[in-house]
A and B are shown apart, each in its own frame.
Chain A
Amino acid sequence: MLIRKQSDLLLGVLVAVLLSALILLDINIVILRPVLAVMLILLLGHTVLTVWARGLILHQAVRILMSIMLGLTLTALIGLILNYTSWGLTPQSWVLLLSGILLVHVLIAFIQRRQFIESPEQTHRLTFNFGQGVMLILAVLVVGISIMVAQIGSLNQPRPGFTQLWMTADPSNNSSATFLGIRNEEADTLSYNLVVTQGTEVLQDYQSLQLRVGETWQRSVDLSSLTEKNVPVEAVLYRSDKPDEPYRSVKLWLK
């Protein structure tokens, strides 16, 4: 009887402890962590309401509304407070503070419920009969299918393909190397020719580079030996099926 009466508070303790353990021990269980995270925010609202709305006449629908809203708004306020701490808004600081506040309120609510006789609240069981249950389960399934259809449609939308060409200095600045790269995002495997020149001088000539869809080709070239700074280094990409027609081009002015 006691457990049943305090089941919401026990659930709060369970969620807070489990989620804290998962985050602090860096255990990632795919479904469990998101479910616990949402429950932690909503249960925070519920327990705070239980403690601070003691003695108020709140109907079930109002309690649901207030639990959601207090859960969301208290999370926002706690975030604001965390911003002014040295920890900042990290997974660890979030879970410790939210769980801490939840557990304190669980304790107060527990004591309150034992010390005072609760006024009878008008609550309604949210029960469904078999037919209603089937309809709701079907609805969830159809929504799931709808989301899948939309995602498949989005990911497989017909679009024009493209090829990326680049020639740029090492982004990490760790070397004097220059990166040359090609990425094929066309509809099919393509063969490319890449010619690197400075003025009339051919510096590199890469022939018949076969790239599958989504594949990247990259080379590091050292241009530090080039002394001519007034003529840019150019890389021109050709498709092997149209070898005379420049397909992409990039250029680099040496410093």
Chain B
Amino acid sequence: MKGYLLEISQALIALVLAPGLVGFVRWWKARLQGRRGAAPWLVYYDLRKLFAKEVVISKNTSWIFRFTPYLVFSSTLAVTLLIPLVAAPLPFDRIGDLLLVVYLLLLGTFFLALAGLDPGTAFGGMGASREMTIAAIAEPTIALSIFGLAVGAGSTNLGRIVAETLAHPSAAISPGHLLGFAALFTVMLAETGRLPVDNPSTHLELTMIHEAMVLEYSGRYLALIEWAAAVRLLIFFSLLANMFAPWGVAATLTPVAVGIAAVALVAKLAALGLVVAFLETRLAKLRLFRVPELLAVSFVLALLAVTSSFLLR
């Protein structure tokens, strides 16, 4: 019973923290640019305002356009119920493993791409085409990183992976883990639309990948999609943090352990957010056709990670 309550509160924590995380990264980028920037909690005001605005949709669209925001939001929220944010293992661990998480996120991307094509604008089509290209080329790296983690832990279920790394701390600095972290970090930048793959605050439509698909959305639909994108960033950060450096994750469900785990989670998210902010300041956006080269490099890293974990077993 406690486990189920914790699961649901975990999803709520993710929902609440996610916009703050996006705001935090944005705030740090502003500070690095020498300006005061929008405070991290202003993103919540953005969402509240969007929910109060009306929706304007194109007459060329179909029910898929209206259905997609709900599906993207629901599938992303479903993922937060499956990943170990503050405690592992949890009751829903049996329902889904890392492969299911990856494919649930792909479900959201699939429908978002369809919604980009629906209004019949060129920008939407362009965004959809680029997004699916990058998602497809990032898939092998994700699968191999999962493989690498699973081989070490003997399972693809997230709770077991976390428990395994907690039990054998020296595995965390094995070459397999380090290479896998580098590979998954690169893929995270691609999947969440961060520099150097995609600039989340660009206005140049010809350089957009994710933004171009949502140019037609407004009001509550846009709020749901933006929130889902923020939760997606939080999901990737938590996976990177809690699978490769799981210390702090509660193994028992006592209030003290969960409290420590929550604080640890916030600290890890802040640290990763800081790294991403620094990276986004330092790196310029890659040309679109250089992105497959970047993802190929991450694939090679993941392959090396898996091979080394095989050979060093």
A and B assemble together:
no
Enumerate chain A interface residues (CB-CB to B < 8 A): none
Residues of B within 8 A of A (CB): none
